Amino acid sequence: MEKIQFKNAYYVKLGRKGKWEEDSIKNSIVRVGWKRQNINDILNNNWKLIESQIRQEMSNPGAAKRDFQMLKTFCESTSDDLWVTFYSSKLWWCRLNDEKIKADEISKYRRTKDGWKNKDILGNHLITNQITGRLAQLQAFRGTICGVKPIVDLNHLINADSSAEYKEILQIKNTIVKQLEKGIQRLHWKDFEILVDLIFRQAGWKRISVIGETMKGVDLELMENITKDRYHVQIKSKASLNDFKQYANTFSNRGFKKLYFIVHSPENSLLNYNQNEYDNVELIFSNRLSNMVVDSGLIDWVMDKIK
How is residue 119 annotated by DSSP? B
CA nearest neighbour of 230 among 209, 252, 247, 255 = 255
- Neighbour-count burial for 257-281, b at 16+ CB within 10 Å, e otherwise: eebbbbbbbbbeebeebeeeebeeb
Number of other CB atoms surrounding residue 92 within 10 Å:
20
What's the confidence (pLDDT) of residue 128?
92
What's the confidence (pLDDT) of residue 241?
92
pLDDT digits (tens, 9 = 90+) for 84-131: 999 999 999 999 998 999 999 899 999 999 999 999 999 999 999 888
- Spell out the residues 6+ positions from residue 76 whose beta carbon is closer than 8 angstroms to its own: none
Its pTM surpasses 0.85: no
pLDDT digits (tens, 9 = 90+) for 28-76: 999 998 888 889 999 999 999 999 988 988 888 888 899 899 999 999 9
What's the confidence (pLDDT) of residue 211?
53
Residue ranges covered by each domain of the chain:
9-158, 167-306
Answer whether 21's CB lies under 8 Å from 31's CB: no
The Cα–Cα gap between 184 and 177 comes to 10
Q: Which fold has domain 167-306?
A: Trna Endonuclease; Chain: A, domain 1 (3.40.1350)
